Amino acid sequence: MSRVIFWSTVTFCTAFLALPLLLVWPLAFNTSSFLTYPLEGLTLDWFHQVLTQPTWVNAFLNSLKVAVGAMALALVIGGLAATGVILVPRALQVVLTGLFVSPLIVPSVVVGVAFAYAFGRAGIGGGYFSLVLAHAVLGAPLVFLSVLTSLRGLDPNLDLAGASMGASRSFRFRTVTLPLALPGFAAGALFAFITSFDEVVVALFLADPGSTTLPIALFAGLRDRLQPSIVVVAVLLSLMSLLFLALLRRLQMRVAAPKS
Amino acid sequence: MSSAPARPYGSRAAALLMLMLPVALYLLVFVYPLSSVVTLSVDNSALSGRFDNLSALGPDATPDGEAAALLADLGTMEKKQLGEVARMLNQQRSGFRSLIMSTGKEAEAIAPTMAGLVAFDARWAEPGYWAIIRENAAPITWKHYQRALGITLAEDGSLASGEDLYLRVMGRTLVITLQVTILTLLVGYPLAYAAAHGSAGVSTFVLAVVLLSFWTSILVRTTAWVVLLQTNGLVNTVLVGLGLVAEPVQLIFNRFGALLAMTHVLLPFAILPMLNVMRTIPASQADASRSLGAGPVETFLRVYFPQTLRGVAVGGGTVFILSLGFYVTPALTGGPEDQMLAWFIADFVNKTLNWGMAAALSVLLLAMVAVLVALAGLARWATARRKVEAA
């Protein structure tokens, strides 16, 4: 009896989690412009429309530009922070880790207000550069945590072995530590990229009409009118996430493989 | 001969060199903007800077002296500045705009005494206007916090309770957050259990669904709910088709839609911490409990559940903190009565350009989050200590 209750609960909860997306994706291929079932027929017209409409294409390109820039900057900030933090005394480590992780806890709306105001006063308000800077700050904690985890997991004896053979500190760092921690950097970069690519709240405060990103365009479209192109964009964004999840899994497999 | 280095990987000097750039960037691009929000919330220089003569007056100024100073200040303002001052004062008391604009235009013609001002416009005899003027001649102001917390300055300068709109918004934010937290825990617990202890196939499947959901952006998942719950959406089609309702019901732009979408969006954040804790609980414990005569319900309640409480606390806490500052999902699926604090902050920035109010509400939201994080830290410290004492 309790088994039946348990499994029906699990089935219901899984359906609640999975069904909304699974049900909505097919609507992007529906011939009818009404976003409901039954499907009238299958078509790729809506995809064609989105991929040829300058608003969506430009928004996509802007998102890509911002995400790549933010990823690169976050990688430098977060990577340096993590490699530096493991070398300092314990008490300082706690304080610095708190500082480096703090953007994760502050609500995005507050971050948005802070950036919009401070960047505006500094004369870099609005546009591509401010978006890259803001998203880099949001992505840096993820790179930091990812690199820190992979550095902490390294065997210190490898470094000592290098030292015993006369390698200098910087040489050991470049040829032993860094290559071993590379998966941590790669995973952190993926996190930072996808965080920026999906981010909407801070972007709403900072973007000007010329630097509208895809999430902003989607948000505006949802507030305006529901139409198939919105579902198409949602499907494309989901595919992007799927791709990143697959990349991340491959990365984790590669890290796990040599050990086994 | 040479001893192994005390710390592998590099020296302290190298560490400081590496840390310089990230620390500087964090301070400049994150800590400084955040602290500027705090200053912004009490900053009144935009107004007080326009009232140089009034600001220079001591506390024992005569009414005539104040009138003269006010007229001198208004007289030096250009038309654009006058309009700005009038707009900002009008935010505190409606009707102030016309009073300032008309007085400012005639500032040179009015006799620089209180009697002259009152003769020009009888409203200057009301102490309420003067209280606001005096308050705004100071460079630091608490007016945004007063408005946010529903406190008003009475005519004689004492504090009284006033319009409590933002207090109610904060209460609503807490209520919605609590509801969402409970819902995510209720739905998430069995899912985490299935992912941790189900057969290989089941756990892989559930975990895949959770991770996919986790990695799909919040906006995309909210989009799915908007599409499903709309008046002519799938849910309504099914309900009408099954004959459960005669005509489509309103499922979105109300509390129901907001709670449903927020629960769905935040669910993975509750599941993953619970899953991590559940994985560490060996199945043999349940067998032991059963072999000692406890039934399945008793085993769950007395052996299994207490051990998962840490995961429930971490998952629930994460959802609570995230939900407290939520903007996108309630903005797209809730109605006007379901908007949370974050929506009002964005509204102040986007619509009325009232940065002071946006900053004050931001500080209050940040304070709520900070208190919660501090409580979580305290709880962790306390459990760690109890473990040490028990050992």
For residues B261 and B252, give the distance between their C-alpha atoms in angstroms, rounded to a whole number.
9
Q: Which chain A residues contact residue B187 at CB under 8 A?
A: 13, 16-17
List all residues of chain A from 63 to 92 with a beta carbon under 8 Å from chain B.
76-78, 80-81, 83-88
- Closest to B33 (Cβ–Cβ): which among A115, A163, A198? A115
A238 domain-assigned: yes
The CATH number assigned to the domain holding A154 equals 1.10.3720.10
Q: What is the pTM of this model?
A: 0.88
- On the question of pLDDT at A225 being above 80, the answer is yes
Q: Which chain B residues contact residue A111 at CB under 8 A?
A: 34
The reply to whether B26 touches chain A by the CB within 8 Å rule is yes
Nearest CA to CA, how far is B194 from chain A (Å)? 7
Q: What is the dihedral of CA B238, B242, B243, B245, to 10 degrees?
A: -30
- Closest to A84 (Cβ–Cβ): which among B19, B202, B210? B19
> Residue-wise over B199-211: b if at least 16 C-beta within 10 A, else e?
eeeebebbbebbb
Q: Which chain A residues contact residue B333 at CB under 8 A?
A: none
List all residues of chain A from 195 to 214 with a beta carbon under 8 Å from chain B.
197-198, 200-201, 204-205
Q: Quick one: closest CA in A to B185, which residue? A: A13
In chain A, the number of structural domains is 1
A11 domain-assigned: no
SS3 labels along B7-41? CCCCCHHHHHHHHHHHHHHHHHHHHHHHHHHHHHH
B165, B176 Cβ separation under 8 angstroms:
no
B86, B104 Cβ separation under 8 angstroms:
yes
| B167-390 carries CATH number 1.10.3720.10 | yes
Is B5 in Cβ contact with A100 (below 8 Å)? no
Q: Quick one: closest CA in B to A84, which residue? A: B15
pLDDT in tens, A171-184: 888 888 888 889 89
Reading chain B (391 residues) residue by residue, the pLDDT tens digits are 344 444 545 567 778 888 999 999 999 999 999 999 999 999 888 888 888 888 888 777 888 888 888 888 888 888 888 888 888 888 888 888 889 888 888 888 888 888 888 888 888 888 888 888 888 888 888 888 988 888 876 655 566 666 788 999 999 999 999 999 999 999 999 999 999 998 899 999 999 999 999 999 999 999 999 999 998 888 998 899 898 888 889 999 999 999 999 999 999 999 999 999 999 999 888 888 888 988 888 888 888 999 999 999 999 999 999 999 999 999 999 999 999 999 999 999 988 888 999 999 999 999 999 999 999 888 888 888 887 777 6
* The predicted structure's pLDDT at residue B309: 93
Q: Which chain B residues contact residue A236 at CB under 8 A?
A: none
Residue A48 CB: number of other CB atoms within 10 A?
A: 11
The reply to whether A187 touches chain B by the CB within 8 Å rule is no
* The predicted structure's pLDDT at residue A72: 97
* The predicted structure's pLDDT at residue B389: 79
Nearest CA to CA, how far is A88 from chain B (Å)? 6
Q: H-type helices in chain A, by residue range? A: 2-24, 45-52, 54-85, 90-101, 108-122, 128-152, 156-164, 169-172, 178-198, 201-206, 214-224, 228-256
Q: What residue numbers bound the domain in which A193 lies?
A: 53-259
Is A35 in Cβ contact with B230 (below 8 Å)? yes
Radius of gyration of chain A from Cα atoms?
Answer: 23
Nearest alpha carbon to residue B26 among A144, A146, A99: A99
pLDDT in tens, A42-100: 889 999 999 999 999 999 999 999 999 999 999 999 999 998 998 888 899 999 999 99
* The predicted structure's pLDDT at residue A260: 37
Q: From its phi and psi, is residue B150 left (phi > 0), alpha (psi between -120 and 50) or beta?
A: left
* The predicted structure's pLDDT at residue B358: 95
The reply to whether A137 touches chain B by the CB within 8 Å rule is yes
> Residue-wise over B155-187: b if at least 16 C-beta within 10 A, else e?
eeeeeeeeeeebeebbebbbebbebbbebbbeb
Cα A115-B258-B178 angle, rounded to 5 deg: 80
The helix/strand/coil state of A53 is coil
For residues B81 and B67, give the distance between their C-alpha atoms in angstroms, rounded to a whole number.
19
The reply to whether A23 touches chain B by the CB within 8 Å rule is yes
The reply to whether A36 touches chain B by the CB within 8 Å rule is yes
Is B9 in Cβ contact with A173 (below 8 Å)? yes
The reply to whether B349 touches chain A by the CB within 8 Å rule is yes
Q: Which chain B residues contact residue A168 at CB under 8 A?
A: none
For residues A59 and A221, give the distance between their C-alpha atoms in angstroms, rounded to a whole number.
12
Radius of gyration of chain B from Cα atoms?
Answer: 30
* The predicted structure's pLDDT at residue B4: 44
The reply to whether B19 touches chain A by the CB within 8 Å rule is yes
Q: Which chain A residues contact residue B30 at CB under 8 A?
A: 102-103, 137
Residue B25 CB: number of other CB atoms within 10 A?
A: 19
* The predicted structure's pLDDT at residue B158: 63
- On the question of pLDDT at A107 being above 50, the answer is yes
Is A100 in Cβ contact with B14 (below 8 Å)? no
For residues B294 and B117, give the distance between their C-alpha atoms in angstroms, rounded to a whole number.
86
Q: Which chain A residues contact residue B180 at CB under 8 A?
A: none
A175, A158 Cβ separation under 8 angstroms:
no
* The predicted structure's pLDDT at residue B160: 66
Is B346 in Cβ contact with A114 (below 8 Å)? no
For residues B106 and A24, give the distance between their C-alpha atoms in angstroms, rounded to a whole number.
64
Q: Which chain A residues contact residue B5 at CB under 8 A?
A: 160, 163
Q: How far is CA B172 from the centre of its chain?
A: 12
Helices A128-152 and B12-26, packing angle to 10 deg: 150
Q: Which chain B residues contact residue A86 at CB under 8 A?
A: 9
Is B217 in Cβ contact with A215 (below 8 Å)? yes
Paired tokens of B244: 């459960």
List all residues of chain A from 95 to 124 with a beta carbon under 8 Å from chain B.
96, 99-100, 102-103, 105-119, 121
The reply to whether A171 touches chain B by the CB within 8 Å rule is no
pLDDT in tens, A123-173: 887 789 999 999 999 999 999 999 999 998 888 888 888 888 888 877 888
Is B365 in Cβ contact with A107 (below 8 Å)? yes
Q: Quick one: closest CA in B to A5, which residue? A: B190
Residue B254 CB: number of other CB atoms within 10 A?
A: 16
Query: Which residues in chain B are classed under CATH 1.10.3720.10?
Result: 167-390
Q: Which chain A residues contact residue B195 at CB under 8 A?
A: none
A37 domain-assigned: no
CA atoms A252, A257, A258, A260: torsion sign: positive
Q: What contacts A245, CB < 8 A, 6 or more positions away? A: B211, B212, B215
The reply to whether B30 touches chain A by the CB within 8 Å rule is yes
CA atoms B135, B140, B146, B148: torsion sign: positive
B238, B309 Cβ separation under 8 angstroms:
no
The reply to whether B217 touches chain A by the CB within 8 Å rule is yes
For residues B196 and A4, give the distance between their C-alpha atoms in angstroms, rounded to a whole number.
18
For residues A204 and A109, give the distance between their C-alpha atoms in angstroms, rounded to a whole number.
10
Paired tokens of B147: 């408005």
- Closest to B26 (Cβ–Cβ): which among A99, A112, A244? A99
